[in-house]
Amino acid sequence: MITQSGQIRWVREKAQPIAGNERGVTILQGIMYDKTAQVQAENDRNRLVEILESTTDLVATVDRGGRLLYLNNAGLKMLGLTPNRKFSDLNLFDFRAPRSLSLLMSEGIPRAEREGVWTGETEYLNENRESIPVSEVLIAHQSRDSGNSCLSFMARDISARKRAEQQIQNQLGHLSALHKIDMAITGSLDLRLTLNIVLHQIAAQLKIDALRILLYNPQTRMLEHAAGYQLSPNGISRKITLDEGPPGKAVFERQMVVSYASETDDYLKRLSPGNGYNTYFAVPLIAKGQVKGVMELFSSEQSLPSEDWFDFLDALATQAAIAVENTTLFNELQRTNDHLQQAYEASLEGWAAALELRDHETEGHCRRVTDLTVELAHSLGINESEIINIRRGALLHDIGKMGIPDSILLKPGPLTSEERSIIQKHPVYARELLASIPYLNAALDIPYYHHEKWDGTGYPAGLAGNNIPLAARIFAIVDTWDALRHDRPYASSWPIEQVKEYISEQAGKQFDPQLGRAFLKLDLTNY
């Protein structure tokens, strides 16, 4: 290829021998220069077209109204157009989504005219009106042929990038949903609350119209409604037998069952009449190899979702099964604990009753002092966890007397000083007996310290004032009250007013004065 400068030099060299025709040489040089410029321009144009046709991005030029003046092959392919389609019949603006066209008119074209170029992410529509996200460059310029104002576009399909971004967003949403469900499982023992959180997360992440969870009752061998989301109560069976439709099939086959409204099975139509659900999923909830229930999903879509959708549904179903399993285990543990608790309390009451029989105490003494001690503790605002131990200590307040010989414990007459010192060891025996039982360690204060006195003259430790545990100070008043208010083999009962007067007199000596005043404010008629 001879360059423009090379051709001009050739013209000058070849023209020189033509003597006396300098003007002709000048004319010939001008002709050759114009011809060379045309050839160069045509070559440049062809080279540009070659480049534009080889790119994978849409390149188009339009007039101000959007009518196509040029569209490359990549643009034809992106918009779904046939190569023989006339550009003059097409308007590029018609291939833009409404929101994208609005952005182009309000921002894109004005900025391109002011600054020469505008870039942004917009949305094209192909011939089938399918959306194509693109990264776009817009240049405003004048046509070299007509001099009219034109717009040139270069658009790159970013569908793959958008899909990747959406996939990342979906994965983040899935992780967030699983985290919320994990928090619900670990932070709450309310199964209904946990299942509602599971259903809301499934509906949000999987775009499901309605859901519900059925739990399997092994006693009745039925599936029972436990929680629902956006499901009309009309037509819903609260209990379903295992031979009734897809839920039972999911239990027996231990795998997901998919059903369509168009199929002959009328379960979906009967369950949700008039709601427009076209697809139904029954997912078994399996934990530790056992079916805990079935999760039902109702969708207006008629086609099956993606494989990722099913994978995430499987993960959520596993979480729901774990929630059911955890709550079931906790409830069973709670029931077992309640039974043990009842057995412990019955044992304590049995010990107290046996001790009353041995000590010939007035019938019902242990029950009365226990009830009155608990009432006084409540009036003082003591919390329930402490009152439980106060009650146990009151029941066992004289358990140490089991270590006292009958000859002393049952002696009808006065005790010698030596015998009295032996019987005063029963708090120590109580501590030695109960200290080996962890369950009763917190209840030791009353059995060990209830014979201590406010002024420090009591036993076994000779404690005084607030050094005496509160539970023992409370019980000391109640125990004295009951002893004076009821007949004993060695003494008759006192009138209620006389006992009240005695309690008042002993306040600050035998009893905590503040507790004595609180005790006398109680309704003591039935004690």
Q: What CATH number does the domain containing 271 carry?
A: 3.30.450.40
Going by their DSSP bridges, the two strands 149-157 and 58-63 should be labelled as antiparallel
Looking at the structure, tell me whether residues 291 and 314 fall in a common domain.
yes
Tokens standing for 77? 């392919």
pLDDT value, residue 4: 38
188-210 tens-digit pLDDT: 667 777 788 888 888 888 888 88
Does residue 253 sit within a domain? yes
Q: Last residue of some domain: 54, 79, 96?
A: 54
Looking at the structure, tell me whether residues 178 and 124 fall in a common domain.
no
Does residue 410 sit within a domain? yes
Looking at the structure, tell me whether residues 368 and 427 fall in a common domain.
yes
Q: Last residue of some domain: 54, 75, 91?
A: 54
402-422 tens-digit pLDDT: 888 888 887 877 888 898 899
Q: Last residue of some domain: 280, 312, 330?
A: 330
Q: Which residue has the higher pLDDT, 40 or 423?
A: 423
pLDDT value, residue 44: 61
Looking at the structure, tell me whether residues 303 and 409 fall in a common domain.
no
Q: Is the pLDDT of residue 81 over 60?
A: yes
Sheet holding 279-287, edge to edge: 239-241, 222-229, 210-217, 290-299, 279-287, 257-260
Least confident of 60-64, 321-325, 519-523: 321-325
401 vs 128: CA distance, rounded Å: 96
The boundaries of the domain holding residue 218 are: 164-330
Least confident of 36-45, 434-443, 470-479: 36-45
CB < 8 Å & 24+ apart, contacts of 133-139: 133/157, 133/158, 133/159, 133/162, 134/58, 134/158, 136/108, 138/104, 138/108, 138/109, 138/112, 139/112
Does residue 339 sit within a domain? no
Averaged pLDDT, 229-237? 67
Rounded to the nearest integer, the mean pLDDT of the chain is 81
Q: Which residue has the higher pLDDT, 271 or 190?
A: 190
Note the helical H segments in 360-424: 365-379, 384-395, 406-409, 417-423
Looking at the structure, tell me whether residues 254 and 288 fall in a common domain.
yes
Does residue 179 sit within a domain? yes
pLDDT value, residue 47: 74
Looking at the structure, tell me whether residues 101 and 200 fall in a common domain.
no
Q: What CATH number does the domain containing 453 carry?
A: 1.10.3210.10
Least confident of 31-40, 75-84, 312-321: 31-40
Looking at the structure, tell me whether residues 294 and 397 fall in a common domain.
no
Looking at the structure, tell me whether residues 169 and 288 fall in a common domain.
yes
Looking at the structure, tell me whether residues 179 and 146 fall in a common domain.
no
Going by their DSSP bridges, the two strands 68-71 and 58-63 should be labelled as antiparallel
Does residue 252 sit within a domain? yes
Does residue 342 sit within a domain? no
Does residue 300 sit within a domain? yes
24-46 tens-digit pLDDT: 334 444 444 555 555 565 666 66
Return all residues near 469 (Cβ < 8 A) that are at least 6 apart: 445, 449
Looking at the structure, tell me whether residues 190 and 127 fall in a common domain.
no
Decide: helix, strand or coil at residue 470: helix
Tally the domains of the chain. 4
Does residue 318 sit within a domain? yes
Return all residues near 18 (Cβ < 8 A) that are at least 6 apart: 24, 25
Q: What CATH number does the domain containing 116 carry?
A: 3.30.450.20
Looking at the structure, tell me whether residues 291 and 380 fall in a common domain.
no
Looking at the structure, tell me whether residues 507 and 380 fall in a common domain.
yes
